[in-house]
Amino acid sequence: MRIQFKTSYDHDIRLFKDGWQAFLYIALLALMVVLPWLIDDFFLGEATNVLIWATCGLGLMLLTGQTGQVSLGHSAFMAMGCYACVLLMEAGVPFILAFPLGGVITGLVGALIAIPALKLHGVYLAIATLALAILTDDLIVMLEPWTGGVAGKFAPAIEVFGLEINRWSSPAAWYYMALIVVLVVTLFYRNLLRAPMGRAFAAVRDSEISAQAMGVNIARTKTIAFGISAGITGLGGALMGLFAEVFNNETFTFIISIQLLMMIVVGGLGFIHGAFLGAIVIAFLPQVLSIATDSLGSTVAIPGLETGVFGLIMILFILFEPMGLYGRWLKIRTFLELFPFARKDMFRRQKSYLKTERLR
């Protein structure tokens, strides 16, 4: 077990706790950078997909994991980010501007939507946001002249500083683009967590009443969380649509929202790592399942199998490992560090329940 000696306040403010941790993350980053040389184009595409899901997941994580507001409406923000970005590109705005602008527009819409949703808690908020997702699906169909409706839209070619980014001719460039986006989002996320805003998010999540007594404006904090969350997820949605090359209302159905929520629960609510681990699970599950069904000799695809299996995994996690994959890893790590002194009940679960279930 490593013991950190803290000698200045910066120790707690820095991104990494110590040199060893910084080394680990730099090594991981180096691995991500050389990945295109290590794996073939198919798996590089899968890796890109993981990064895109992780971006969307980070957006929802900020709202649900950090601020405690459950949303089943994030597919709507993915769609908004995607259509905003593509429409701007079609209007002649270069991708390098259209992409962040799409995120900003989605963020502002998300903040606006938050205002009527502020009074809702827990399950009620989940239902209201689910309605938003379904409504957006319909809106995409109805606004056919702009969105292409059911027939969908072809993603325009992406060009950044004269370099064309195409998933077939330059998969590595696509991968790097997704990597840069997710890294920037992660950095912003981390910065928020070590600043007053991030602590206000946690305060609202854990006790609205004492957050208020400490001067946190609940409505404002939730609105900001909604806005930033929608903005990040919008960026992820734009990447997802562009990566798919063709997208329509089906690309962003409410099922995607549910998958996104499952993803962050399985990964570990409240942890940045959770968004990434969940993204790995959700991106590779279809492959694992198709290999499994193939080896069982089944030739026809079973409809709903993916969602069903994923739902089952989520229920198992909620029952047995509410802190998700990342929580499990933390336990394994502590066990190894303390070996052989770890105690069995060290992580015994405290009684916990949703705040909404609590009687005031």
Partner 1 sequence: MSLLTLDNVTLRFGGLTAVNRLSMTVDEGEVFALVGPNGAGKSTVFNLISRFYTPVEGRITFDGTDLLRLAPDEVPSLGIARTFQNIELFDQATVLDNLLVGRHRHRRTTLVEQMLHLPSVRREERAHREAVEEVIDFLDLQPYRNKRIAGLPYGVRKVVEMGRALASKPRLLLLDEPASGLSVEETQNMRWWIDDIRRQMGITVLMVEHDMGLVSKVCDRVLALADGAKLAEGTPQEVQNHPAVIEAYLGTGDAA
Give residues in contact with partner 1 (CB under 8 A): 9-10, 12-13, 188, 191-192, 194-200, 202-203, 205-207, 209-218, 224, 270, 350, 352
Smallest gap from residue 129 Cβ to partner 1 (A): 22
Tokens representing 309 are 């299996």
Place of tokens 């920037």: 184
How far apart, in whole angstroms, are the C-alpha atoms of residue 179 and residue 309? 28
Tokens representing 206 are 């854990």
* Short-list 254, 228, 263, 283, CA closest to 66: 228
Nearest CB to partner 1, comparing residues 36 and 81: 81
Nearest CB to partner 1, comparing residues 176 and 189: 189
Is residue 93 classed exposed, middle or buried when 0-12, 13-18 and 19+ CB atoms within 10 A define those classes?
middle
Q: How far is CA 189 from CA 7, 31, 37, 165, 185, in A?
A: 26, 22, 29, 26, 6
Nearest CB to partner 1, comparing residues 12 and 144: 12
Nearest CB to partner 1, comparing residues 172 and 197: 197
Nearest CB to partner 1, comparing residues 18 and 46: 18
C-beta of residue 313 within 8 angstroms of C-beta of residue 281: yes
SS (H, E, C) 114-177: HHHHCCCCHHHHHHHHHHHHHHHHHHHHHCHHHHCHHHCEECCCEEECCEEECCCCCHHHHHHH
Smallest gap from residue 30 Cβ to partner 1 (A): 23
Nearest CB to partner 1, comparing residues 203 and 281: 203
H or E element, residue 269: none
Q: Read off the amino acid at residue 217.
A: N
Smallest gap from residue 224 Cβ to partner 1 (A): 7
Smallest gap from residue 244 Cβ to partner 1 (A): 29
Smallest gap from residue 352 Cβ to partner 1 (A): 7
How far apart, in whole angstroms, are the C-alpha atoms of residue 332 and residue 147? 48
Nearest CB to partner 1, comparing residues 102 and 270: 270
Place of tokens 């069982």: 296
Smallest gap from residue 35 Cβ to partner 1 (A): 27
How far apart, in whole angstroms, are the C-alpha atoms of residue 356 and residue 255? 25
Nearest CB to partner 1, comparing residues 199 and 331: 199
Smallest gap from residue 196 Cβ to partner 1 (A): 4
How far apart, in whole angstroms, are the C-alpha atoms of residue 243 and residue 96? 16
Dihedral sign of CA atoms 240, 245, 249, 250 in order: negative
Smallest gap from residue 64 Cβ to partner 1 (A): 13
3-state secondary structure of 71: coil
Nearest CB to partner 1, comparing residues 128 and 218: 218
Smallest gap from residue 208 Cβ to partner 1 (A): 9
